[in-house]
């Protein structure tokens, strides 16, 4: 376990330039899967990482970058044991530090942890304690493992979870109670994302993206379905800067599908420059037209989607690329420090600073390679780690035949015996619904015609 700082070997001694092309690496004692940034303004360089061990006891660590010396440190008092590998970790979305410092994790249950005494960076006073253990099935000691969850930024008392038991559950963490539980899909639900106060979307092994509005809990709308029947969708990212757009990942595919919810069924653009399966996607927290993707080809690619409504010969190319030391399994873009991206591969956590990228986009990109080269020369050494992608890339349809960690780090095939009868799960709580599925007007029929399938 340790940390290192990599900087541009060709630097000219300028402190400002020295900081502008840097990678910070932390080596954990175990394989990393779940990872996320802290949102608090007073903890700009803090992250949570979690182990992926095929055993019951796993670990979560809270690490911090010391910007003065470039070291990422782990506080032993902020490292704790966790049942099963966490599928996701999220800090409470509280930039202004008005609420208790909380961290949520998902595995067999949703857990909320309280971090105490971390304000003065004193190891002796720091601690993490379990605040809430939230089980959506009160009728049984077993549960359907939680594949993912999302914390509502507009209403932080709400957390939405997705599960292999086909449900999505909306929790009120202040009351520690279920607000709503829905049978959301026909098969396992792999991811969930909030699009506003009462609107969320989910993706599933049934190959669909469905949008739910909590004001009408008995209905959902399908806005996209995989072109191949029953091809699972495993990840979903909703653009917080422009909620008209979302992106989804197809299992074992090198393609990322970007959707415009105003025009369902057909993707507005498909990002096809990865050479192997894509594992993670993150929208820029401060730009409506930039997105980062990462996958088994060890590549993290940043894309400019400002021209995605226009036809581009040969498909859209990324504008920046970074090559990691192994398959990238996790990617997060810091909302409080938007010039930083974090990736996790093997036992390593890396945080990458790319603020020069945003300076370049201020000029406006064109597809002319010489024009791009001029912009590169205008800001020396920005390509040290984030390298310019040539305008012509060969896309490859090759992908892994089997990647059990995509969408299901818990390996639900081994724990599916814990899946409960659907009615047993839904009937266990009050105010729960079986959603009627509505195909969007442009799905599978003439424009303006709504085809509804009632699941009751």
Using 50, 70 and 90 to split pLDDT, how confident is the model at 407?
A: very low
- What sign results for the dihedral spanned by CA atoms 380, 386, 391, 393? positive
Is pLDDT of 240 > 70? yes
Residues 279-323: pLDDT tens digits?
999 999 999 999 999 999 999 999 999 987 777 777 899 999 999
Closest alpha carbon to 351 in 8, 10, 64: 64
Token couple for 191: 């991811």
Using 50, 70 and 90 to split pLDDT, how confident is the model at 380?
A: very low
CATH 2.130.10.10 given to domain 89-346+386-453: yes
What pLDDT does residue 389 have? Answer: 56
What pLDDT does residue 139 have? Answer: 75
pTM of the entire structure?
A: 0.79
Closest alpha carbon to 20 in 387, 384, 388: 384
**Which residues have CB under 8 Å from 179's CB, separation 6+?**
158, 170, 171, 172, 431
Closest alpha carbon to 184 in 150, 213, 220, 223: 220
Distance of alpha carbon 35 from alpha carbon 280, whole angstroms: 12
Query: Any idea where the domains of the chain sit in the sequence?
Result: 89-346+386-453
Residues 127-186: pLDDT tens digits?
999 999 999 887 776 778 999 999 999 999 999 999 999 999 999 999 999 999 999 999
Rg, Å, the chain Cα set: 22
Using 50, 70 and 90 to split pLDDT, how confident is the model at 1?
A: low
The percent helix, strand, coil of the chain (3-state, each to 5) is 10, 40, 50
Distance of alpha carbon 198 from alpha carbon 184, whole angstroms: 15
Token couple for 258: 């970007």
CA angle in degrees (0–180, nearest 5) for 391-351-296: 55
């Amino acid at each position: 376990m340790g940390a290192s700082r990599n900087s541009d070997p060709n630097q000219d001694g300028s402190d400002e330039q020295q900081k502008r092309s840097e990678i910070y690496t932390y080596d954990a004692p175990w394989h990393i899967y779940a990872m996320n940034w802290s949102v608090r303004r007073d903890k700009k360089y803090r992250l949570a990482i979690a182990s992926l061990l095929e055993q019951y006891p796993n670990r979560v660590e809270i690490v911090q970058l010391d910007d003065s010396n470039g070291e990422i440190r782990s506080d032993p008092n902020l490292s704790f044991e966790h049942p099963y590998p966490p599928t996701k970790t999220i800090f409470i979305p509280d930039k202004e530090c008005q609420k208790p410092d909380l961290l949520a994790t998902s595995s067999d249950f949703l857990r909320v942890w309280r971090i105490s005494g971390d304000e003065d960076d004193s190891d002796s006073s720091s601690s993490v304690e379990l605040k809430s253990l939230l089980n959506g099935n009160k009728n049984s000691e077993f549960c359907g493992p939680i594949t993912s969850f999302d914390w509502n930024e507009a209403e932080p008392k709400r957390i939405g979870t997705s599960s292999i038991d086909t449900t999505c559950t909306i929790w009120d963490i202040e009351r520690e109670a279920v607000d709503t539980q829905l049978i959301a899909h026909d098969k396992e639900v792999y991811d969930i994302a909030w699009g506003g106060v009462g609107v969320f979307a989910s993706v599933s092994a049934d190959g669909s993206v469905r949008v739910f509005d909590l004001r009408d809990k008995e209905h959902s709308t399908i806005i996209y379905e995989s072109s191949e029947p029953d091809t699972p969708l495993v990840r979903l990212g909703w653009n917080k800067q422009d909620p008209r757009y979302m992106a989804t990942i197809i299992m074992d595919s090198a393609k990322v599908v970007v959707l415009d919810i105003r025009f369902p069924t057909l993707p507005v653009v498909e990002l096809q420059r990865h050479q192997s399966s894509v594992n993670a996607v993150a929208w820029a927290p401060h730009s409506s037209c930039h997105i980062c993707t990462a996958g088994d080809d060890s590549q993290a690619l940043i894309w400019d989607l400002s021209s995605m409504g226009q036809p581009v010969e040969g498909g859209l190319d990324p504008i920046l690329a970074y090559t990691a030391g192994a398959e990238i399994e996790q990617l997060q873009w810091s909302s409080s420090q938007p010039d930083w991206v974090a990736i996790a591969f093997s036992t390593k956590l890396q945080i990458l600073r790319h603020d020069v990228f945003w300076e370049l986009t201020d000029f406006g990109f064109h597809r002319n390679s010489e024009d791009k080269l001029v912009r590169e020369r205008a800001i020396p050494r920005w390509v040290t780690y984030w390298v310019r992608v040539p305008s012509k890339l060969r896309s490859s349809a090759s992908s892994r035949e089997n990647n059990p960690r995509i969408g299901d780090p818990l390996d639900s095939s081994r724990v599916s015996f814990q899946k409960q009868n659907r009615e047993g799960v839904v009937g266990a709580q009050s105010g729960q619904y079986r959603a009627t599925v509505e195909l969007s007007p442009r799905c599978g029929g003439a424009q303006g015609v709504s085809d509804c399938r009632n699941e009751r």
